[in-house]
Structure 1
């Protein structure tokens, strides 16, 4: 009988979370030094918001956003061009068995949160929320 391939768990394990934080802190340090010589990254201030590790800790999805004006997708593309260089530098900074392959992705969570805040601030939504609060207190 053939064995079914196991799926990765939906939630990250403690090991994945710990390794992701180690890598995030090391990347922040490396990016703050400004070792990359890419013109697109020359004066960019970069926020590394999250690092998600694969179950075998060999691949890291790094979510980045510019601090201030800038295009997150262009920033991620520029960082992906220098990913092998950063991986080499990262290997010297961290004490993990393997240095993971880095894949940079644009982090749009700040824009999404801002959009949700704008939606919740609308007068129609405020009115409905107030009506719900009044309805709950009368019961």
Structure 2
């Protein structure tokens, strides 16, 4: 019971080191596979795709990749093409990483850049700049 109770107390405290390590391993492999055009889909290979982050579930069965096409054009297409080819991509990730069990892949748009742009926009507003500069 000691180990179980210990693990339960960490729920909600963020990903474990193992999740972070496996997520980064998959992110690197996925980025390399996509940049080298290792998938047999000419439409997918024509796209430049950034893989910002990969998050895994605690049991490492599902990996969610946050992706964005270069320049932000073709966001809907990139998700459809990745979903269509996820079996081949999963197989390639398994070979490249040597993981015993390659997680099921899910793809989501990476909105980090949009959030950063919005934050910059807010910080550049006159009344916000005045507040910030007034604090210094």
Q: TM-score range by the shorter chain?
A: 0.7 to 0.9
User: 1:87 maps to which residue?
Assistant: 90
1:18: which partner in 2?
21
The aligned residue for residue 137 of structure 1 is none
- Is the 8 Å Cα contact of residues 34 and 45 (structure 2) preserved in structure 1? no
TM-score (norm 2): 0.84
**Residue 109 (str. 1) matches residue 108 (str. 2):** no
Which segments of 5 or more consecutive residues in structure 2 lack a partner in the other structure?
1-7
CA contact (8 A) 1:48 1:65 kept: yes
Q: Deviations over 1:81-130 (max 9, x none)?
A: 11111011111111212011100100011011111101101112111222
Contact 1:59 1:100 in 2 (8 A): yes
Aligned length: 129
Alignment partner of 2:71: what SS?
coil
Q: Aligned runs of 1:23-42 on 2, under 5 Å?
A: 23-38=26-41, 40-42=43-45
Moved over 4 A (4+): 5-8
Instruction: Give the number of the structure whose alpha-carbon radius of gyration is greater.
Output: 1
- Paired residue secondary structure (1:111): helix
Q: Which moved more, 1:8-17 or 1:108-117?
A: 8-17
Of 26, 48, 52, the match for 1:49: 52
Judged with a 3 Å threshold, the aligned counterparts in structure 2 of structure 1 residues 42 and 93 are, in CA distance, closer, same or farther, namely: closer
Q: Name the one with the larger helix percent.
A: 2
RMSD over aligned Cα atoms = 2.1
Q: Provide structure 1 residue ranges, at least 5 long, that are not aligned to the other structure.
A: 134-139
> Which moves more between the two structures, 66-75 or 47-56?
66-75
TM (norm. structure 1) is: 0.83
Secondary structure in structure 2 of the residue aligned to 1:61: strand
Q: Could you say what secondary structure the match of 1:47 adopts?
A: strand
Aligned-pair distance for 1:43?
A: 1.8
